[in-house]
Chain A
Amino acid sequence: MIDPANGSPEPQHAGSRTAHLAHHFHTPKQQFDAGKLGMWIFLMTEILLFGGLFCAYAVYRANHPEIFFYAEQFLDKWLGAINTGVLITSSLTMAWAVRCAQLSQTRGLVTCLALTLACACGFLGIKYVEYEHKWRDGLLWASKYAPHRVRDSGFSVQDSGFPQERGTQAAEPRTLNPEPSSQKNAGIFFSIYFMMTGLHAIHVLAGMGAITWILVLAAKGRFSSRYFGPVDYVGLYWHLVDMIWIFLFPLLYLIH
């Protein structure tokens, strides 16, 4: 930390310098680098965990594209796009928070972490709205897939090729009357949708927990340019959560 009186670095007190240094590490840099390496390996395991679901997506989309093209009409791409914007914003505030920690700007750090949490809440809120619509309309995973009525939300509906008017603003529910063959096994799309977005949402929740923990510590003044590892590591995790959504959005919402 810079001594404001004379602009030169304060003498390194043995206590404050080594306060955060674990006994088995020799230098703070070694400890920081080790922590970063560990977090990157963990992120790699998360990529492989989600990767299984991307594999399932690829398999079903390649072998049954008709199901995906059919089911896409039920997803609201505007809500998806807003959610994408919300998560990107949260990534900005998280990266900004790491920067604040590195510069010992505690107030900025706390503000940015709080904003990140707010964005995360917003994301989950919008997800809740989406899930609630699906539940109401019977658009659930394969064994519970039973679409009975779809309420036109007023947003434009993709041209599904079915005999319905496009972009109607009517509030009255309309019943789907699709071709039986293209409706067959459409529930599989929703199995994949719920599994991917659900697991992602669980990771958002876990991230919120981690950010809250860091926020509490930050408010207590625990982080500074000498010690900001945990903020950085939680930030990396959060960016991965954002990155996964960056792929989920076009794959689930922007199918053509």
Chain B
Amino acid sequence: MTDSPKTQSASEHGGLAHVMPLPVLLAVFALLMGLTVATVSATWIDLGPWNLGIALGIATVKAALVALYFMHLRYDHPFNALIFLTGLLFLALFLSLTLLDTLEYQPAIRSWLENR
């Protein structure tokens, strides 16, 4: 595969889109693999409830790398990133209120089970 080492900007190729340089793709790949190793390794350290937070944090960083570089969001119209974030926002809304409700009514379930 022939390749040009310099960054291919959008204007050089008909103006359709930014071309991701190969070193960036490979670097992101290496980071993603490294973070995968990290997240597996983290399970051997017992930090109680923080383990979930760390695992999700690492996953979020990995997802951000995929979104920003593999999916070009860093070099794209900001509106596309807004769409993505809006989906996450509404998901967070749904998740949080539903979760809160289920947590709130557990005592009612438990007391019913005990009094049966």
Direct contact of A and B (CB under 8 A): yes
Interface residues, chain A, with chain B CB atoms under 8 Å away: 28-29, 32-33, 36-37, 40-41, 43-45, 47-48, 51-52, 54-55, 58-59, 62-63, 77, 81, 84-85, 88-89, 91-92, 94-96, 98-100, 102-103, 105, 107-108, 111, 225-226, 228, 232, 235-236, 239-240, 242-243, 246-247, 249-251, 254-256
* Distance in angstroms between the alpha carbons of A246 and B66 in the assembled complex: 10
User: Contact check: which of A47, A242, A254 meets B39 at CB < 8 Å?
Assistant: A254
Chain A residue nearest to B73 in the complex (CB): A40
On whether the beta carbons of A95 and B25 are closer than 8 Å, the reply is: yes
On whether the beta carbons of A254 and B98 are closer than 8 Å, the reply is: no
Interface residues, chain B, with chain A CB atoms under 8 Å away: 1-4, 8, 13-17, 19-20, 22, 25-26, 28-29, 32-33, 36, 39-40, 42-43, 46, 51-52, 55-56, 58-59, 62-63, 66-67, 69-71, 76-77, 79-80, 83-84, 86-88, 90-91, 94-95, 98-99, 102-103, 106
On whether the beta carbons of B16 and A32 are closer than 8 Å, the reply is: yes
**Across-interface contacts of B77 in A (CB, < 8 A):** 33, 36-37
On whether the beta carbons of B87 and A44 are closer than 8 Å, the reply is: yes
With contacts A47-B87, A54-B95, A88-B32 taken as known, whether A246 is within 8 angstroms of B62 at the C-beta atoms is yes
* Distance in angstroms between the alpha carbons of A67 and B95 in the assembled complex: 20
On whether the beta carbons of A41 and B16 are closer than 8 Å, the reply is: no
On whether the beta carbons of B13 and A225 are closer than 8 Å, the reply is: yes
**Across-interface contacts of A62 in B (CB, < 8 A):** 99, 102-103
On whether the beta carbons of A243 and B88 are closer than 8 Å, the reply is: no
**Across-interface contacts of A103 in B (CB, < 8 A):** 3-4, 8, 13, 19
Listed A/B pairs (14) with beta-carbon separation below 8 Å = A28-B16, A37-B79, A45-B87, A47-B88, A47-B91, A92-B25, A102-B13, A105-B2, A243-B67, A249-B36, A249-B39, A251-B56, A256-B46, A256-B51
Chain B residue nearest to A91 in the complex (CB): B70
With contacts A62-B103, A63-B102 taken as known, whether A28 is within 8 angstroms of B14 at the C-beta atoms is yes
On whether the beta carbons of A107 and B76 are closer than 8 Å, the reply is: no
A55–chain B nearest beta-carbon distance, Å: 5
On whether the beta carbons of A84 and B36 are closer than 8 Å, the reply is: yes
* Distance in angstroms between the alpha carbons of A184 and B94 in the assembled complex: 28
* Distance in angstroms between the alpha carbons of A180 and B62 in the assembled complex: 38
Most buried by B among A40, A85, A247, A250: A250
Apart from A40-B84, A45-B87: 10 A-B pairs, beta carbons within 8 A: A28-B16, A41-B83, A47-B91, A54-B91, A92-B29, A92-B70, A94-B70, A99-B22, A111-B1, A254-B40
B45–chain A nearest beta-carbon distance, Å: 9
On whether the beta carbons of A100 and B102 are closer than 8 Å, the reply is: no
**Across-interface contacts of A249 in B (CB, < 8 A):** 36, 39, 59
**Across-interface contacts of A89 in B (CB, < 8 A):** 29
User: Contact check: which of B51, B63, B84 meets A247 at CB < 8 Å?
Assistant: B63
On whether the beta carbons of A247 and B59 are closer than 8 Å, the reply is: yes
